[in-house]
């Protein structure tokens, strides 16, 4: 009984969170649904969350929350290839803990997408099937789905349906509304020369320019300098040709602060078909862009040291190889690791080991150039990629780093040394052969006694 009460309390807390995000007005309906999917994923312990829109035999991902580079909003699938097709046939919750141990083994979704665990429910909007809300994973769920999970899935589907109904109603109201002063989006009207003739209250709020400071001025008062001349030439070419322009602008407020705005510029024509003015609507998406930047930064940096992680290094590594080939620049690579680092962890503990890694990273950062690419490859192994640098000069840098580490006094661990491998790229190299050669050079340094540098020049 106690366990059931705890589950119900957990459900109530989850529903409370859903209602809270639905009441937030500064995020789009799509992002609200995405937040709801994140909450659902946490509840069920699954990696994929989808709200779909189904029309005929077309299954479109309306909104998704999934691992990077797997699914995207707007992605289209044949309905028959999805578990949601079976969900619609049931017109109720479909819960599959492990498809390989169920009657649905061999289902097209299992064959094509290797999804093992799934729970989904149809969504109704205004009493009509809109699509589904579902959660899934390529691994079997440890806990069997039960009637409590089923009932909660029904609640989620009702919540999503109610949310979508509200959004559709609001959309209709927005379309009919002519009172532009009541919307948060900026609305401006400019003449053919780009001189502002109208701005709404949202424009004043978002930019800091008063109505008096705006009317009669050109739209260039918002220029941030982050777009080149070609960008504006292309924008004006489109709207002067009578086309609608849509884009993301980095603009500048009166106080100099930058903000990101999704804008739509629509040419207005007279009865003769001549363009007389332009209406621009804009949505401030600064928070979303900053959040994206923060997430991208988290995804590209090593959590402990703050330098690039392996994934980001591989991306930059490929770019530098292409640049070296294109411009015939030299490109050299240092690989180093910490000698007897395992002993440091074993003797002094992992906290001290982490501190050693952080201090060594700071030593290296203080001694390399801004164009050098420094990354943690894994464990105590690091790369320094040196664009436009010969193998001889890279060896000099490696020696500088080796000495700086050797003479540094680590408070807890005492003296630490490192071993280095150095090599240089040739047009015959692939990424893998380049890395293997520097790895071999490091291996030679370790075999020859450590705390030294070994070069491996390509023949």
Q: Can you tell me the mean pLDDT for 65-74?
A: 93
Most confident of 169-183, 293-307, 403-417: 403-417
Q: Which of 423, 424, 421 is nearest to 444 (CA)?
A: 421
With contact defined as beta carbons under 8 Å apart, do 352 and 380 qualify?
Answer: no
Strands of 94-96's sheet, edge to edge?
Answer: 76-78, 58-65, 48-55, 128-137, 117-125, 94-96
Average pLDDT along the chain: 89
Topology at the third CATH level for domain 180-288: Beta-Lactamase (3.30.450)
Contacts of 199 (CB under 8 A, 6+ apart): 186, 187, 188, 209, 211, 214, 215
Residue 271 binned pLDDT confidence (cut-offs 50, 70, 90): confident
Q: Can you tell me the mean pLDDT for 66-90?
A: 94
**pLDDT (0 to 100) of residue 286:** 84
Contacts of 164 (CB under 8 A, 6+ apart): 29, 123, 125, 130
**pLDDT (0 to 100) of residue 391:** 95
Other Cβ atoms less than 10 A from the Cβ of 276: the count is 11
User: In this model, does residue 2 exceed pLDDT 50?
Assistant: no
User: In this model, does residue 178 exceed pLDDT 60?
Assistant: no
**Given the residues 9, 380, 412, 457, the one annotated as active site:** 380
Contacts of 163 (CB under 8 A, 6+ apart): 22, 29, 32, 33, 36
DSSP state of 79: G
Domains 2-176 and 180-288 share a fold: yes
CATH, domain 301-455, list 3.40.50.300, 3.30.70.270, 3.40.50.1970, 3.90.1300.10: 3.30.70.270
With contact defined as beta carbons under 8 Å apart, do 313 and 320 qualify?
Answer: no
Structure tokens at 454: 């070994």
Please work out, in degrees rounded to the nearest 5, the angle formed at the alpha carbon of residue 363 by the alpha carbons of 361 and 366: 110
Q: Can you tell me the mean pLDDT for 390-404?
A: 96
**pLDDT (0 to 100) of residue 373:** 96
Q: Which of 153, 196, 140, 119 is nearest to 15 (CA)?
A: 153
**pLDDT (0 to 100) of residue 202:** 87
Helix (H, G, I), strand (E, B) or coil at 160: helix
User: In this model, does residue 173 exceed pLDDT 50?
Assistant: no
380 is catalytic: yes
Q: What is the spatial distance between Cα 382 and Cα 305, in angstroms, rounded to a whole number?
A: 11
User: In this model, does residue 174 exceed pLDDT 60?
Assistant: no
Question: What percentage of the chain has pLDDT greater than the value 70?
Answer: 94
Helix (H, G, I), strand (E, B) or coil at 248: strand
**pLDDT (0 to 100) of residue 274:** 87
User: In this model, does residue 422 exceed pLDDT 90?
Assistant: yes
**pLDDT (0 to 100) of residue 181:** 58
DSSP state of 74: T
Is the CATH code 3.40.50.720 the one for domain 2-176? Answer: no
User: In this model, does residue 176 exceed pLDDT 50?
Assistant: no
Domain ranges of the chain: 2-176, 180-288, 301-455
Residue 281 binned pLDDT confidence (cut-offs 50, 70, 90): confident
pLDDT single digits (tens) 323-380 = 999 989 999 999 999 999 999 999 999 999 999 999 999 999 999 999 999 999 989 9
pTM of the model: 0.44
């Amino acid at each position: 009984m106690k366990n059931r009460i705890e589950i119900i309390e957990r459900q109530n807390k989850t529903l409370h969170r859903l209602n809270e995000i639905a009441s937030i007005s500064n995020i789009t309906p799509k992002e609200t649904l995405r937040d709801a999917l994140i909450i659902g994923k946490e509840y069920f312990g699954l990696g994929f969350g989808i709200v779909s829109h189904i029309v005929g035999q077309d299954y479109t991902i309306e909104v998704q929350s999934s691992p990077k580079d797997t699914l995207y909003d707007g992605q289209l699938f044949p309905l028959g290839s999805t578990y949601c097709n079976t969900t619609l046939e049931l017109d109720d919750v479909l819960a599959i803990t492990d498809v390989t141990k169920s009657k649905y083994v061999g289902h097209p979704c299992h064959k094509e997408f290797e999804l093992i665990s799934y729970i989904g429910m149809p969504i109704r909007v205004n009493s009509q099937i809109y699509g589904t809300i579902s959660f899934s994973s390529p691994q079997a769920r440890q806990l069997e789905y039960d009637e409590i999970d089923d009932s909660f899935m029904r609640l989620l589907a009702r919540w999503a349906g109610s949310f979508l109904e509200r959004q559709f109603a609001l959309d209709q109201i927005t379309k009919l509304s002519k009172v532009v002063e009541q919307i948060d989006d900026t609305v401006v009207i400019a003449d053919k020369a780009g001189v502002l003739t109208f701005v709404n209250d949202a424009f004043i709020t978002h930019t800091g320019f008063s109505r008096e400071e705006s009317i009669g001025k050109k739209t260039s008062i918002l220029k941030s300098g982050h777009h080149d001349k070609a960008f504006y030439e292309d924008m004006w070419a489109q709207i002067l040709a009578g086309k609608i322009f849509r884009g993301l602008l980095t603009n500048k407020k009166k106080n100099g602060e930058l903000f990101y705005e999704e804008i739509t510029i629509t040419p207005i024509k007279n009865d003769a078909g001549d363009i007389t003015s332009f209406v621009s609507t804009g949505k401030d998406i600064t928070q979303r862009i900053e959040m994206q930047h923060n997430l991208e930064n988290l995804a590209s940096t090593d959590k402990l040291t703050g330098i690039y992680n392996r994934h980001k290094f591989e991306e930059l590594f490929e770019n530098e190889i292409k640049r070296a080939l294109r411009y015939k620049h030299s490109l050299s690579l240092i690989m180093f690791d910490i000698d007897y680092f395992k002993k440091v962890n074993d003797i002094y503990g992992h906290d001290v080991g982490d501190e050693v890694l952080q201090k060594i990273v700071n030593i290296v950062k203080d001694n390399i150039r801004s164009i050098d690419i420094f990354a943690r490859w894994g464990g105590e192994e690091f790369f320094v990629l040196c664009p436009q640098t010969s193998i001889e000069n890279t060896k000099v840098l490696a020696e500088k780093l080796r000495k700086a580490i050797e003479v540094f006094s680590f408070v807890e661990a005492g003296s630490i040394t490192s071993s280095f491998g150095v090599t240089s790229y040739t047009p015959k190299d692939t990424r893998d052969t380049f890395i293997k050669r520097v790895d071999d050079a490091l291996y030679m340094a370790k075999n020859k006694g450590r705390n030294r540098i070994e070069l491996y020049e390509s023949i």
